[in-house]
Structure 1
Amino acid sequence: MSKPVWKQADPRFVWNKNLLEELIENKLDGFIVPLLQGSFQTGHLKLKDSPATIALISRRCTRRLGTRMWRRGANLEGDAANFIETEQLLEFEGFRSSFLQIRGSIPLLWEQIVDLSYKPRLNIIDHEETPKVVERHFHDLLQRYGHVVAVDLTNKQGDEGLLSAAYAAEIQKLSSVRYVSFDFHHCCGGSNFDNIQLLYDQIAEDFEKNGYFLIDTEEKIILEQRGVIRSNCIDCLDRTNVTQSYLAGKSLDSQLQRLGALSSNECISMFTEDFEIFKIMWMEQGDEISLEYSGTHALKRDLVRYGKQTMTGLVKDGMSAISRYFLNNFQDGIRQDAADLISGRYSVNRDSPSPFQNNGFDSLSYLPVASALLIGGLTVTTITINQGRNTNTILSSALCAGVIAGVMALVKSNGRQICSRPRLCGLL
């Protein structure tokens, strides 16, 4: 007799496990339905009159779940934020294959606390457990997936550069993991997306050795995937999605060629309609993962679909960036609390004080007043300037400008308190 569905599910990806505990204790297997968060896409390829079905499944891990700015890096157990397992499935004439990739935040102890600035400073937490955190993270990956190639897509300048250097220093202590640094923005910025081939050239040997999983029409295993590519940028969203879609295309070509759907000198990009289906699937998958973590669609969507950035895409990226700023600063604290509550990371205790009690100065409650003062000050300043340049209007304008500057300084100095913060659980 086969196991119940919930026992077959990988517990790392079961999002409602906490809510199912009473059903599990009472052995109500027929009512226990495991839920995952991520993305699911399917498409049908025509190829050369030899139809194939392709599916894309992404599963978000629950071990360090949360929102973009409140769940960064790893916890002390080595669980990385925004860790996602993405599996591309192919069915062709009874043969079935799969290609697996993973992504996850840089597995160090680091944070990026929102403070009203567009790009808050990254802070690497100096902790004696840091080497063990990295070791725990990759030990788990090696046990599950085999050989691991860690592709780091972050910038090599500024705060990202410091974080990348710290990551490289720690991971290079692990002889069983190969680390590859590739500054995506530097190499593929502007209209240079084709330079992603430079990354592939660096990992081609490992990529081919890792292979993919394949079974024949009688469900006999022909090939097994022997390793995995772990990709990351800062958010593990935009640059990571572009890179993973490129590698998935390479694997799909290899699978279709082996199965005889394509000749050895053909690739999926030669079939315009089929390639469009493939690109749209990856673009929509990137959007869904981004919505779950950052609250907006993915950036750099055009690179996935068109292989270049378009003006329309730049405008959409700008709008998404503004939306991310607002959500990260003013809504994600509440979203993080909801995730911690539903996952069981925070348990309500009747005897404990409410984490939402107002203890002392609460800057958030003064934000509407500050906003009103800013708007009022700007309005009065504009009116007085338009009325002429006598001594009274100049003094009034100067006074209003001083008030505006003072309010802005007050808001900036209390930026971290004004922003929406989670109240239920700590960062680690």
Structure 2
Amino acid sequence: VIGVLKLAVGSYFFVITDRDCVGSYLGHAIFKVTGLKVLRCNDSLNTSPEQKKMESEISELLDAAEKTMGLYFSYDINLTLNSQRLYDVDDEFKSRPLWRQAEPRFLWNSYLLEPLIENKLDQYLLPVIQGSFQNIQAEVGSEKVNVTLIARRCTGRIGTRMWRRGADAEGYAANFVESEQIMQSKGYTASYVQVRGSMPFLWEQIVDLTYKPSFDVVRQEEAPSVLERHFKDLQKKYGAVLAVDLVNTQGGEGRLHERYAKSIEPILSEDVRYVHFDFHRICGHVHFERLSQLYEQIEDYLKKHKYFLLNEKGEKIQEQLGVVRNNCIDCLDRTNVTQSMIARRILESQLQQIEVFGVNDTITKYPAFDASYKVLWANHGDAISIQYSGTPALKGDFVRYGKRSAQGILNDLQYSLARYYLNNFADGTKQGCHGSSSRTLHHIC
């Protein structure tokens, strides 16, 4: 049971009808929702014409709800918390019902659960996240390496691509996603968390049938306070923050970059750093290997703030002390390429530390492992992109195969045209349900 939606025309029951086991999270089975049904609870023969009209209008949204993608759950572990946070909670916390353990930012069905919570139906309450869950296994010499990649989408400032940009007054950023990479080998468990999210101040793009609508910064005087609110929340949850800004320095993106750099300046410190890397100017459309220049700029930060690591006895021997926050305009394509590069370097460090790798070994030394790992991150990026933009990620051929190809560039053109169509002729309906029905339908659509 996912929950109950109460509308003026009646109540609707959301239930999972099909599931697939997609792997395990710290030893506990994880399931992907493959069938979702919306059931009307209270059919009435005395429905008024106005109610019938209203129900007809929302039926399209309810049909869309049944097609919601990227939902995952577990019956016996809190999937909303990353490994480090889960390790640090006490036994009393773990003894609570799963819904009470859930991190509100990543509890996709929080609103739907409210009627069941009010009636104390704990045994029926199933926390669900939206995002992605990918897993690979590889053999490195005589050792087996298991890598899991989880995306957790934030429910704050939820919405579709051009209809949800920037941050709101509370500091919630559009398309904010926590990505956790977990490595298990030789009895060790390591975890590394990155986040992505729209530039955290008030800005928007008004859809007007142009291919790239202009960017507008709204209430510019509030940008520093909104941004500070966002970064304080990140520091509270993750420790130190390194903001990696991948947008262009020219045109509309350049104006947003200037606003971001200027607004973050007052809070820069030892624990809040800002790095700008003009991805398109430096890497162009084919030379993504030049991301090594970015790595050289942030390597000291990554080494200083480490990653979470448990030994063979399940004891914590290291923790992650900071997070990299990545953004481009959509926080999809350039962002996913960059996150996959950082995650690869971290994974190599982890495997070197537990002596699965030699001191100078890299993943590319093991072709089968390398190929599987690229697909892992490509699928991760595609899942997030489909949920925000309606299409797979651009530049996915580089993440998937390690190089750009003519077919990949043609795919990007096709996806770009599809995004244009969705932005102008489909996403508005989805976004409209935020105001016309309920925030839950907005999350779903």
Same fold (TM over 0.5): yes
Deviates more, 1:232-241 or 1:130-139: 130-139
CA contact (8 A) 1:38 1:288 kept: yes
Does 2:297 correspond to 1:202?
yes
Deviates more, 1:225-234 or 1:24-33: 24-33
Separation (CA, whole Å) in 1 of partners of 2:421 and 2:321: 42
Per-residue deviation at 1:344? 4.1
What whole-Å deviation, never above 9, does each CA across 1:316-370 have from its counterpart, x for those lacking one?
1110000000000000011223466453498xxxxxxxxxxxxxxxxxxxxxxxx
Per-residue deviation at 1:99? 0.4
Per-residue deviation at 1:217? 2.0
Which residue in the other structure is 2:216 paired with? 123
Does 2:314 correspond to 1:219?
yes
Q: How many residues align?
A: 348
What whole-Å deviation, never above 9, does each CA across 1:87-108 have from its counterpart, x for those lacking one?
0001112111100000000001
Separation (CA, whole Å) in 2 of partners of 1:132 and 1:274: 45
- For 1:185, the aligned partner's letter is H
- For 1:187, the aligned partner's letter is I
Greater relative contact order, per chain length (Cα 8 Å cut-off, separation 6+): 1
- For 1:186, the aligned partner's letter is R
Separation (CA, whole Å) in 1 of partners of 2:328 and 2:232: 21
What whole-Å deviation, never above 9, does each CA across 1:218-266 have from its counterpart, x for those lacking one?
2110100000000000000000000000000000000001111101010
Match for residue 289 of structure 1 among 372, 375, 384 = 384
Which residue in the other structure is 2:405 paired with? 310
Which residue in the other structure is 1:46 paired with? 139
Q: Give the secondary structure class of the aligned counterpart of 2:376.
A: helix
Does 2:278 correspond to 1:183?
yes
Which residue in the other structure is 2:423 paired with? 328
CA contact (8 A) 1:70 1:333 kept: yes
Match for residue 203 of structure 2 among 110, 113, 124 = 110
Which residue in the other structure is 2:74 paired with? none
- For 1:251, the aligned partner's letter is I
CA contact (8 A) 2:268 2:274 kept: no
Per-residue deviation at 1:126? 2.8
Which residue in the other structure is 1:79 paired with? 172
Which residue in the other structure is 1:100 paired with? 193
Per-residue deviation at 1:287? 0.5
CA contact (8 A) 2:374 2:402 kept: no
CA contact (8 A) 1:66 1:81 kept: yes
What whole-Å deviation, never above 9, does each CA across 1:10-59 have from its counterpart, x for those lacking one?
11011111010011112211111111111100000111121111100000
CA contact (8 A) 1:90 1:97 kept: yes
Percent identity (aligned): 50
Runs of 4+ in 1 over 6 A off after TM superposition: none
CA contact (8 A) 1:18 1:342 kept: no
Structure number with greater Rg is 1
Alignment CA distance shift 1:129-1:221 (3 Å) = same
CA contact (8 A) 2:433 2:441 kept: no
Q: How does 1:151-190 map to 2 (within 5 A)?
A: 151-176=244-269, 177-190=272-285
Separation (CA, whole Å) in 2 of partners of 1:345 and 1:130: 29
Q: Which has the higher strand share?
A: 2
Does 2:402 correspond to 1:298?
no
Does 2:147 correspond to 1:64?
no
Q: Give the secondary structure class of the aligned counterpart of 1:246.
A: helix
Per-residue deviation at 1:173? 1.1
Q: Which has the higher helix share?
A: 1
Match for residue 269 of structure 1 among 364, 372, 377 = 364
| TM-score w.r.t. length of structure 1 | 0.79
Separation (CA, whole Å) in 2 of partners of 1:61 and 1:105: 12
- For 1:86, the aligned partner's letter is S
CA contact (8 A) 1:241 1:286 kept: yes
